[in-house]
Amino acid sequence: MEKFENAVGIDVSKLTLDAHDYEHSSHVQLSNDEKGFKGLVKWLKKLNKDKNTVICFEHTGLYSLPLAMFLTENQIPFFMVPGLEVRRSLGIRRGKSDKADAEDISRYAFLRRKEVKLFELPSQGLLKLRGLLNLREKMVKQKAGYQAAMKEMKRIFTQKDNPIWFKSQQKIYKELSEQVGTIEAELLQIIQEDDRLKKLFELVCSVKGVGLVTGVSFIVYTNAFTSFDDWRSFASYSGTAPFEYQSGTSIKGKTKVSHLANKKMKALLSNAASCSIRYSTEMRLYYQRRLEEGKNKMSTQNIIRNKIIARVFAVVNRGTPYVDVLKHAA
């Protein structure tokens, strides 16, 4: 943990950076490119000549990566946080603007300036995995689009009515399927070539319900299990950790799952939960018992999602694969 005197919050978007210096209440908007990054450094030096200042911004995937790489190369201290963490710690403000978001992030960082864990840029292997996951997601969406279009056309026309259209759509769908397969093979190849990633992947996938894409996503979104202190933090990031909805000291509603979360990871965990219920005796029995007791189906599935997260973090921390006790019971 490092201690700093001041903090700067940056709201990162596709084309711009909105930066706010907390102590000086100063704001600047710059382009999200190398010219803007250099302008940011000049602005920082002008305001904080003698102050040890840390930069904080939300993890926005590809949009924040160039800034993170520039700051790392120039040895400028920074840390990244999930957007959900900032909003839950400071409260959700009414209305939204990039300038206001930058101010919120600077306040969040300033309050934590004396206990900052600086961000370490992911390895080349992790960056490649992240890029391939994003590419796979786009292709899977395109596949679904073509599949829906063919289904709709079949409802209206026969292949004899429009053979060229059907043939071209089927060809594209087949090519996309092959490309998705190629990407998944490349994901596995990158993991096999890195001893650390290979070990993590084997541990993560030892948990029933976790397959190739979910396993890789666990590794990528946790930055090889270095960005989250425990499984509960990752559950919050993934949108599976219920929280109390409270007003004042007396008005409470039902516990809810935040919508400010990584929806990709949440969807993968839903698939993992379904697979776990199908193939894990323990999870299947637990799921059936809850339903027989009249418990809500969706809340039970969410509990299973959290059980999977907890088990993944446990096997990684322990360094040994998960053992299905019921499977090996006499």
CATH class of 6-111: alpha beta
Instruction: Please check the confidence at residue 115 and state whether its pLDDT lies above 70.
Output: yes
Place 246 in a pLDDT band, splitting at 50, 70 and 90. very low
Instruction: Please check the confidence at residue 217 and state whether its pLDDT lies above 90.
Output: yes
pTM for this entry: 0.75
Judged by average pLDDT, the poorest of 41-45, 124-128, 187-191 is 124-128
State mean pLDDT over 27-45: 96
Per-residue tokens: 19: 């930066």
Q: What is the DSSP letter of 5?
A: S
pLDDT in tens, 45-66: 999 887 899 999 998 777 898 9
Q: Say which residue, 256 or 54, is predicted with more confidence.
A: 54
Place 173 in a pLDDT band, splitting at 50, 70 and 90. very high
Place 149 in a pLDDT band, splitting at 50, 70 and 90. confident
Rounded to 10 degrees, the C-alpha dihedral 209/210/211/215 comes to 170
Quote the CA–CA distance of 17 and 29 in Å, as a whole number.
6
Candidates 143, 141, 121, 133; CA nearest to 188 is: 133
Whole-number mean pLDDT of the chain?
Answer: 88
Judged by average pLDDT, the poorest of 61-65, 141-145, 185-189, 257-261 is 257-261
Q: What is the pLDDT of residue 116?
A: 84
3-state SS assignment for residue 134: helix
Instruction: Please check the confidence at residue 206 and state whether its pLDDT lies above 70.
Output: yes
